[in-house]
A and B are shown apart, each in its own frame.
Chain A
Amino acid sequence: MLTYVARRVLYSVPVLIVASFLLFAFVRVTFDPTARLRQSRDVHAVERARHDLGLDQPIVKQYAHWAGGFVHGDWGESTRTHERVFPIIRRAFWNTLQLIIWGVGLSAIVAVSTGVFSAVRQYSVPDYVFTGLSFVGLAMPPFWFGLIAIQFLAVYPKNWFGLDHTPLFFVGLHSSTAPGFADYARHLALPVLTLTVQIVATWSRYQRASMLDAMSADYVRTARAKGVPRRQVIVKHALRNALIPLVTVMALDVGALFGGLVITEEIFSIPGMGRLFIDSLVSGDANVLVVWTVVTASFVIVFNLLADVLYGLLDPRIRYT
């Protein structure tokens, strides 16, 4: 097990190095931090700036220099605000993390309960309703759902009931005027809902399928035949095993969310990782972009590894080779 983890970690190092090098080179040739100096009357200004930034060196050397700094905790500074990149990323990361925690928590609860219900009462009316909803959820463009949610859950209720404020907020995560948990919850509701719609459809389908497998397994029939109450069989025998595949899928998906909430954060003006990416891209902030991609890629790698390890821990039949 330990050797397996060690080997996986070792394998992901070159992947990360190659990925970050390609991105670094790609971002460097796409964005020129000295572009605004081209207007300058000083004909040597661009040249000097390129030399100061090390841009006149071969790309491999530039990368080596950047990677050396990155590993030692020197993540460079933003070419836009001249702030250090590390605090920028940390701030954005914290905001995204809050969305992920609440969104994944809600999605897991909804997915497991609807998935189990659908499997236990297969082909019942609620099963068909959940199946239909999951098809709609899979096809739903997340940005459209976000806009519709703002319109129908925040704006219209305010008009219908003649309120002073919208019942749910859709800008940022906190109000500057009235902080507190209620305010936080009113800010979180819509983005978390949007995120949930994005991921819950897949998860509940997964849960339904694995629960159906478990319900038809021999050990479940044996337990029933021995007279174990139905509810106990469902929860203690079937569900425990049916959760294993879902947990690994969830770990994989969560890893991708750190860089995958671009849309949700954009619509609800939440200054998280996704928003940071868009802002840096629009302003051509190459230093932030490179660090952003390496950080989000690392999360994907770590959670992929976590998924494999969890799978082995939960299902002792899995042998690592």
Chain B
Amino acid sequence: MPSDKPVEVAAAPTGGISRAAGMELELLGAPEPAASTQWALFWRRFLRHRMAVISALVLIVLFVVCFGAQWVAPYEKNHQNLLIGAVGPSGAHWFGTDELGRDQLTEILYAGQISLKIGLSVALIATVVGTWLGALAGFFGRLPEQVLMRITDLFLVVPSIAILAIAIKKFGSDSTTIVLILAALGWMYIARVVRGQVLSIKEKEFVDAARASGASSGRIIARHILPNVVGPILVNATLGIAAAIVTESTLSFLGFGVQPPTTSWGRMLSDARGTVGTNKAHLIYFPGLALLVTVLAVNFIGDGLRDAFDPQSRR
């Protein structure tokens, strides 16, 4: 079959490289069977990080139940039952109910949609923006670099919670605005990381080779440099999700985040704050637990990704 030929040609060098990599690892005393691609190697290392795999499963379940709340939740959203009021966990209401008799498990699932959505969108926007700005600054140096470094210097100096709270006060607190504000402050860290990586990679021979064969700067950045920075970018993006979820919940807790009727886990905690020390204290346990589990899981995945991308970083 004639169509097989190009595939064979393309597959040969990849196989050769990874076999060499496998041999090298064997020489180092780590018996590792030769994998077919870098990605397979990556996956094998990630799957070996037990906590990261468990965390990934936990997060998947959490996503499914939160975004499938419509079908999964035991009660309807905002369904009130004033007759029972706030009671602790029971068979009918696993996480108890609030003063209006709303089932807390249901509320947490719906609030999770907002918390997770905000976390994901902030991390996504901040990563894309930060990656490009960091790459441009690192690649072109001089002026763009100076501008980037001076801007980040400015923002590192002022407590971020202060900037965020004032900005929300000014621009409003619907969830899209909050996402944009959080992302506007979140891109700087990743930009600095990417800049540092690009600075070293742009001196490599393959970049010179690409330039010699006529590739444009944009193409060199997108096709030759950024693929080599995927590891740090992905790790930081993951940790960025956790950071954004915590920041949003902190702002909501202080009363500057999402406003009712929208709820997030932070907002639920803010509403339940007054129940500390009363017999309705169960209202503070579960939203916080949801936050803790989510952030813990995301951090473990970040840890697993780091080990998988850069096995030498392992301690």
Residue contact A263 to B254, C-beta cutoff 8 Å: yes
Residue contact A297 to B161, C-beta cutoff 8 Å: no
Asked if B2 lies at the interface with its beta carbon under 8 angstroms from chain A, I say no
Residue of A nearest to B161 (CB): A262
Asked if A87 lies at the interface with its beta carbon under 8 angstroms from chain B, I say no
Residue among B156, B161, B269 making CB contact with A144, cutoff 8 Å: B269
- List which B270-315 residues lie within 8 A (CB) of chain A: 273, 276-277, 281, 284-285, 287-288, 291-292, 295-296, 299-300, 315
Residues of A within 8 A of B300 (CB): 135
Known: A135-B296, A266-B254, A289-B166. A256 touches B277 (CB 8 A): no
Asked if B169 lies at the interface with its beta carbon under 8 angstroms from chain A, I say yes
Known: A281-B165, A281-B169. A147 touches B154 (CB 8 A): no
Asked if B250 lies at the interface with its beta carbon under 8 angstroms from chain A, I say yes
Q: How far is the CB of A128 from chain B (nearest CB, A)?
A: 11
Residue contact A297 to B158, C-beta cutoff 8 Å: yes
Interface centre among A18, A135, A142, A147 (most CB of B within 10 A): A147
Asked if B242 lies at the interface with its beta carbon under 8 angstroms from chain A, I say yes
- List which B116-141 residues lie within 8 A (CB) of chain A: none
Question: Residues 266-287 of chain A: 1 if any B CB is under 8 Å from the residue's CB, otherwise 0?
Answer: 1000000000011001100000
Residues of A within 8 A of B296 (CB): 135-136, 139
Residues of A within 8 A of B170 (CB): 26, 29-30
Residues of B within 8 A of A99 (CB): none
Q: How far is the CB of A198 from chain B (nearest CB, A)?
A: 11
Residue among B153, B284, B291, B292 making CB contact with A15, cutoff 8 Å: B153
Residue contact B288 to A148, C-beta cutoff 8 Å: yes
Known: A16-B157, A139-B242, A262-B254. A147 touches B276 (CB 8 A): yes
Residue contact A260 to B295, C-beta cutoff 8 Å: no
Known: A23-B158, A141-B295, A296-B159. A147 touches B166 (CB 8 A): no
Residue of A nearest to B293 (CB): A139
Question: Residues 240-267 of chain A: 1 if any B CB is under 8 Å from the residue's CB, otherwise 0?
Answer: 0000000000000000100110110010
- List which A281-306 residues lie within 8 A (CB) of chain B: 281-282, 289, 292-293, 296-297, 300-301
Asked if B114 lies at the interface with its beta carbon under 8 angstroms from chain A, I say no
Asked if B236 lies at the interface with its beta carbon under 8 angstroms from chain A, I say no
Residue among B156, B157, B159, B276 making CB contact with A260, cutoff 8 Å: B159
Asked if A140 lies at the interface with its beta carbon under 8 angstroms from chain B, I say yes
Q: How far is the CB of A248 from chain B (nearest CB, A)?
A: 15
Question: Residues 26-53 of chain B: 1 if any A CB is under 8 Å from the residue's CB, otherwise 0?
Answer: 0000000000000000000000000000
Residue contact B288 to A141, C-beta cutoff 8 Å: yes
Residue contact A155 to B277, C-beta cutoff 8 Å: yes
Question: Residues 238-256 of chain B: 1 if any A CB is under 8 Å from the residue's CB, otherwise 0?
Answer: 0000100010011001110
Q: How far is the CB of B147 from chain A (nearest CB, A)?
A: 13
Q: How far is the CB of B95 from chain A (nearest CB, A)?
A: 15
Known: A29-B170, A136-B292, A296-B162. A143 touches B299 (CB 8 A): no
Determine the distance from Cα of A153 to Cα of B285 in the docked complex, in whole angstroms: 15
Residues of A within 8 A of B165 (CB): 277-278, 281
Determine the distance from Cα of A15 to Cα of B154 in the docked complex, in whole angstroms: 6
Residue contact A147 to B269, C-beta cutoff 8 Å: yes
- List which B139-178 residues lie within 8 A (CB) of chain A: 150, 153-154, 156-159, 161-162, 165-166, 169-170
Known: A143-B250, A259-B162. A19 touches B284 (CB 8 A): no
Determine the distance from Cα of A301 to Cα of B159 in the docked complex, in whole angstroms: 12
- List which A146-173 residues lie within 8 A (CB) of chain B: 147-148, 150-151, 154-155
Residue of A nearest to B294 (CB): A139
Residue among B153, B159, B292 making CB contact with A140, cutoff 8 Å: B292
Q: How far is the CB of B82 from chain A (nearest CB, A)?
A: 26
Determine the distance from Cα of A144 to Cα of B291 in the docked complex, in whole angstroms: 9
Residue of B nearest to A30 (CB): B170
Q: How far is the CB of A227 from chain B (nearest CB, A)?
A: 29
Determine the distance from Cα of A138 to Cα of B303 in the docked complex, in whole angstroms: 13
Residue contact B169 to A141, C-beta cutoff 8 Å: no
Residue contact B246 to A141, C-beta cutoff 8 Å: yes
Residue contact B284 to A144, C-beta cutoff 8 Å: yes
Determine the distance from Cα of A177 to Cα of B287 in the docked complex, in whole angstroms: 36
Residue contact A151 to B284, C-beta cutoff 8 Å: yes
Residue contact A138 to B276, C-beta cutoff 8 Å: no
Asked if A22 lies at the interface with its beta carbon under 8 angstroms from chain B, I say yes
Determine the distance from Cα of A266 to Cα of B253 in the docked complex, in whole angstroms: 10
A-B contact pairs, 24 of them (CB 8 A): A15-B153, A19-B154, A19-B157, A29-B170, A135-B300, A139-B299, A141-B246, A141-B249, A141-B250, A143-B249, A144-B291, A147-B273, A150-B276, A154-B277, A155-B276, A155-B277, A209-B315, A259-B161, A281-B166, A289-B166, A293-B158, A300-B157, A300-B158, A301-B157
What are the nearest 7 A-B pairs in CB distance?
A: A144-B288, A259-B159, A139-B296, A139-B295, A30-B170, A155-B277, A297-B157
Taking A143-B249, A151-B284 as known contacts, 4 extra A-B pairs with beta carbons closer than 8 A to each other, sorted by chain A number, are: A141-B249, A141-B250, A259-B162, A278-B165
Question: Which A residues fall within an 8 A CB radius of B?
Answer: 15-16, 18-19, 22-23, 26-27, 29-31, 135-136, 138-144, 147-148, 150-151, 154-155, 209, 212, 256, 259-260, 262-263, 266, 277-278, 281-282, 289, 292-293, 296-297, 300-301
